[in-house]
Amino acid sequence: MKHTLSVLVENKPGVLTRVAGLFARRGFNIDSLAVAETESHSVSRMTITVDEQDTTVEQVTKQLHKLINVLKITDLDPSGSVERELLLIKVKADASSRSGIMQIVEIFRAKIIDVGPEVLIIEMTGTREKVSALMELLAPFGVVELMRTGRIAMSRGKKAT
Amino acid sequence: MRAANVILEALKREGVDTIFGFPGGVLLPLYDALYDSSIKHILTRHEQGAGHAADGYARASGKVGVCMATSGPGATNLVTPIANAYMDSIPMVAITGQVSRHLIGLDSFQEADVTGITLPIVKHSYLVQDSESLPRIIREAFYIASTGRPGPVVIDIPVDVCKEEMDYDPSAIPAMHLPGYRPNVKGHPKQTKEAARLIGSAQRPVIYAGGGIIMSGAADELRELAIYGHIPVTTTLTGKGGFPEDHALSMGMLGMHGTQYANYAISQADVILAVGVRFDDRVTGNLKTFAPEARFIHIDQDPAEISKNVSVDVPIVGDAKKVLATLLTELKQLDLSPDRHVPWMEQVEAWKQNHPLVIRQSDDGEIMPEAAIAKIYEVTGGDAIACTEVGQHQMWAAQHYLCRRPRQFITSGGLGTMGFGFPAAIGAQVARPDSLVIDIAGDGSFQMTLQELATAVQFDLPVKVCIINNQFLGMVRQWQELFWNKRYSHTCIECQPDFVKLAEAYGAEGYRATKPDELEEVLRTAFASDRPAVIDIRVKREANVFPMIPAGGSVHDMMEREP
């Protein structure tokens, strides 16, 4: 089962290695990972998605808690949270295909952020499913390159994640 | 003040009186400061020896052990001791020298990424970036190493940091700020009540106690609870001494080479009170068949141990000493009848009578290894601090060297480190100068760290190494005999030094016993001496350790004696 762990850590050198290393040596696989500073300079947030059994996720959570630099871990409930990832995709686009691509971009409320004579770069944020759907629709035009970030997620309601 | 002196001052503030170490290029400033410091430095002959000695010191004293090694190979030689301390949750601070900050990452001479290498085997680690943070880091390191579930902490210090001049005002060290580290000490009151209820209703209760009892200083509480509840107790290898093994309620050690009665009791228990244990595979064997009828209460300091291997019914996260005291109070309120499970106690007693641990006597005039341990036990009155190496002799020692008090049995449990026992005994002797400290060794293990004989002689540490010498790497040979068609691949080590001459060459005393009737006199002479000694005890070469439950097996697979 997919779990999204939102992990607050001290913003210090080596903390990412400690967290990633723990996953590796306990045999847990990371699906996606996003790390950046939070509203406080001294604290970073790691959003880690894993596809593991509930008992495994419980064990990894407990092990993560033992790292001195880990401050807080939330296993986000999908219905009680919103999630986004960012996609950048470079698609082949000549005169004949350009308008078709632009229509799709509009429907998905994505953005064209760079136009070249033979390619377009498109940016989109959305849920994993929506990002995947756009990728599928653009595939027939010829994808030159594709990048997506790890997922970030935030709990709904007035309390902080 | 020079930062190197600040380090030593900060260590003294943490109560450090001894450092086990080995100098090197980047440690020059620190060793220069040590030259006229009140801190005692024990110079070992290999960094591994320093690490294990610090470990043995910690186990014998309950204080944090401190070891020190230079950058690169010095620090990598500490990797095994750090891993060993991590597996057995031993409080240790390892200080390693590092190349100058501007040389880090450039593959400089004697550079190794020590914080990186040790990442999976430390409780926490620091790479010091500036001298100003040293007092804070040292304070945090000792706090982290010694509280909660103890463990090793590495402080990697670049040489140029050590050379800096800085202000040192111990009263101005900022308060510790570790927002991500809050060990839970008191167990949950509701869970403790539930545990008492479960114990009160048990028909076939067993206490399974481990190293956590020793760490937490909970032996008195455990004994009181076991006696009040009339509950038989089995301990793990690292839990030995947590409950007096000569007590009527003791069932000795459980697991692969545990007593038959302990393993039978576990397999038929209906409630198991597990305290400071981690359900290691050497204890449980096949998890599917381990204690099939039992409901588990698990008291542990580390939440991650709860339900890691075995699904637990009543988890209690907290310090064993405090939780057991509360649990006893709760139990007393239930006003239990002392004879509420008479048939169970009779059953346990019957197992003890019918399946005792056997001390075999050889019929061809050879010394049987377990008889040697029994003789060592007899001659020391069971009062020595017994360290061990790893292998057959370790299991015979666990079976036959009964321990009555905590911190009396010092052994590498989790990592199973050959070569641990002798340097650990040196550390234990430093911590307990007035105690008789023995290392029950194998001839294989002893040859891994025997150069520390020089350390023992130099610092007048009268450790007694009792080599149970079968000229084999005996435990591996035993498995080859039992499970690999007696193909003794590379386990025969007949080529070995004359251990008596070797000891003498180092300036220690050397003794040898080859026949049963020589043993007692040799042991008495060696133990009475005030110098370090090596006693080469030649034993029956192909004796095996029994009982034995093969790896991954269950109590039904137990081999009681030689097939």
The greatest distance separating any two alpha carbons of chain B, rounded to the nearest whole angstrom, comes to 72
Does a structural domain hold residue A53? Answer: yes
Report how many domains make up chain A: 2
Q: Are residues A54 and A114 in the same domain?
A: no
Distances, alpha carbon B413 to alpha carbons B210, B382, B418, in Å: 11, 21, 11
Confidence of residue B338 (pLDDT cuts 50, 70, 90): confident
Which residues of B fall within a CB distance of 8 Å from A17? 116, 119
The rounded distance, in Å, linking the Cα atoms of B236 and B395 is 11
Contact B396, B428 (CB under 8 A): no
User: Chain B contact for A13, CB < 8 A?
Assistant: yes
| Same fold flag, B3-172 and B369-545 | yes
**ipTM for the predicted complex:** 0.89
- CA triplet B506, B510, B515: central angle to 5 degrees? 155
DSSP string computed for B361-429: --SSSPBPHHHHHHHHHHHTTT-SEEEE-SSHHHHHHHHHS---STT-EE---SS--TT-HHHHHHHHH
| pLDDT for the residue numbered B406 | 98
Task: Report the gap between the CA of A106 and the closest CA in chain B (Å).
Answer: 45
Contact B314, B191 (CB under 8 A): yes
Contact B57, B51 (CB under 8 A): no
Out of 3.40.50.1220, 3.40.190.10, 3.40.50.10540, 3.30.2130.10, select the CATH number for domain B189-354: 3.40.50.1220
> Which of B181, B301, B312 should we substitute to test contact with A (largest number of A Cβ atoms within 10 Å)?
B181
Mean pLDDT to the nearest integer, B341-350: 97
Tokens of B537: 């005890």
- Domain layout of chain B by residue ranges: 3-172, 189-354, 369-545
Task: Report the gap between the CA of A43 and the closest CA in chain B (Å).
Answer: 11
Which residues of A fall within a CB distance of 8 Å from B127? 13-14
As a CATH number, domain B3-172 is 3.40.50.970
User: Chain B contact for A21, CB < 8 A?
Assistant: yes
Nearest CA in chain A to B303: A62
CATH code, domain with A12: 3.30.70.260
Does a structural domain hold residue A49? Answer: yes
* Beta pairing partners, B559: B548
Q: Where are the alpha helices (DSSP H) in A66-119?
A: 95-107
Contact B298, B318 (CB under 8 A): no
- Which comes out higher in pLDDT, residue B175 or A74? A74
Strand order from edge to edge, sheet including B385-388: B409-410, B385-388, B437-442, B464-469, B533-538, B509-513
Q: Are residues A63 and A91 in the same domain?
A: no
Best CA proximity match to B499, nearest among B487, B513, B481, B483:
B513
Contact B421, B373 (CB under 8 A): no
| pLDDT for the residue numbered A26 | 84
CB-nearest partner of A68 from B144, B302, B303: B144
- Which comes out higher in pLDDT, residue B395 or B169? B395
Does a structural domain hold residue A109? Answer: yes
Q: Are residues A102 and A131 in the same domain?
A: yes
pLDDT value at B547 more than 80:
yes
pLDDT in tens, A14-23: 999 999 999 9
Q: Are residues A62 and A86 in the same domain?
A: no
The rounded distance, in Å, linking the Cα atoms of B412 and B424 is 9
CB-nearest partner of A71 from B123, B179, B307: B179
Domain boundary, last residue among A44, A76, A108: A76
User: Chain B contact for A57, CB < 8 A?
Assistant: no
Best CA proximity match to B390, nearest among B481, B235, B561, B257:
B257
Which residues of B fall within a CB distance of 8 Å from A58? 307
Residue A28 backbone zone (phi > 0: left; psi -120 to 50: alpha; other: beta): beta
Nearest CA in chain A to B181: A68
| pLDDT for the residue numbered B184 | 85
User: Chain B contact for A96, CB < 8 A?
Assistant: no
Tokens of B499: 């251990």
* Beta pairing partners, A75: A5
Contacts of B360 (CB under 8 A, 6+ apart): B368, B370, B371, B543
| pLDDT for the residue numbered B526 | 98
What is the β-pairing status of strands B464-469 and B509-513? unpaired
CATH code, domain with A129: 3.30.70.1150
Mean pLDDT to the nearest integer, A66-79: 95
Amino acid identity, residue B189? P
User: Chain A contact for B128, CB < 8 A?
Assistant: no
User: Chain A contact for B183, CB < 8 A?
Assistant: no
Question: Going along A2-157, which residue ranges are E strands?
Answer: 2-10, 30-37, 43-51, 70-76, 81-92, 111-115, 119-126, 143-148, 152-155
Confidence of residue B400 (pLDDT cuts 50, 70, 90): very high
Instruction: Please give the mean pLDDT across all residues of chain B.
Output: 97
Tokens of B307: 């339900």
Tokens of A61: 């959570």
The rounded distance, in Å, linking the Cα atoms of B11 and B87 is 25
Q: Are residues A46 and A86 in the same domain?
A: no
Tokens of B48: 């591994």
Q: Give residue for tokens 């040859």.
A: B447
Tokens of B399: 């079976």
Out of 3.30.1490.20, 3.20.19.10, 3.40.50.620, 3.40.50.970, select the CATH number for domain B369-545: 3.40.50.970
Q: Are residues A31 and A58 in the same domain?
A: yes
Best CA proximity match to B214, nearest among B115, B281, B116, B301:
B301
pLDDT value at B2 more than 80:
yes
User: Chain A contact for B2, CB < 8 A?
Assistant: no
Task: Report the gap between the CA of B323 and the closest CA in chain A (Å).
Answer: 21
Q: Are residues A58 and A90 in the same domain?
A: no
The rounded distance, in Å, linking the Cα atoms of B521 and B528 is 11
The rounded distance, in Å, linking the Cα atoms of A153 and A79 is 11
Q: Are residues A7 and A69 in the same domain?
A: yes
Tokens of A25: 């040596």
| pLDDT for the residue numbered B336 | 85
Peptide bond into B170 cis (omega under 30): no
Give, rounded to a whole angstrom, the gap between the first and last alpha carbons of chain A: 21
Where b means 16+ CB within 10 Å and e means fewer, B234-272 reads: bbbbbbbbbbbbeeebbbbbbbbbbbbbbbbbbbbbbbb
Q: Where are the alpha helices (DSSP H) in B62-208?
A: 73-76, 79-87, 114-117, 134-146, 159-163, 189-201
pLDDT value at A161 more than 90:
no
Based on C-alpha coordinates, what's the Rg of chain A?
19
| pLDDT for the residue numbered B172 | 85
pLDDT value at B563 more than 80:
no
Nearest CA in chain A to B311: A55
Residue A91 CA, chain-centre distance (Å), reads 21
pLDDT in tens, B184-194: 888 999 999 99
Based on C-alpha coordinates, what's the Rg of chain B?
24
What's the domain range around A26?
Answer: 2-76
Tokens of A158: 């007035």
Q: Are residues A89 and A133 in the same domain?
A: yes
pLDDT in tens, B417-462: 999 999 999 999 999 999 999 999 999 999 999 999 999 999 999 9
For helices B342-354 and B260-268, give the axis angle rounded to 10 degrees: 150
pLDDT value at B549 more than 80:
yes
DSSP state of B276: S
Distances, alpha carbon B240 to alpha carbons B33, B274, B383, in Å: 40, 14, 14
Helix and strand totals (H; E) in chain B: 23, 18
Domain boundary, last residue among A76, A107, A137: A76
Domain boundary, last residue among A76, A96, A129: A76
The rounded distance, in Å, linking the Cα atoms of B155 and B96 is 6
User: Chain B contact for A26, CB < 8 A?
Assistant: no
Tokens of B382: 């069971």
pLDDT in tens, B141-185: 999 999 999 999 999 999 999 999 999 998 888 888 999 999 988
pLDDT in tens, B313-336: 999 999 999 999 999 999 999 988
Which residues of B fall within a CB distance of 8 Å from A55? 307
CB-nearest partner of B180 from A59, A63, A68: A68
pTM (whole model) above 0.90: yes
Contact B278, B208 (CB under 8 A): no
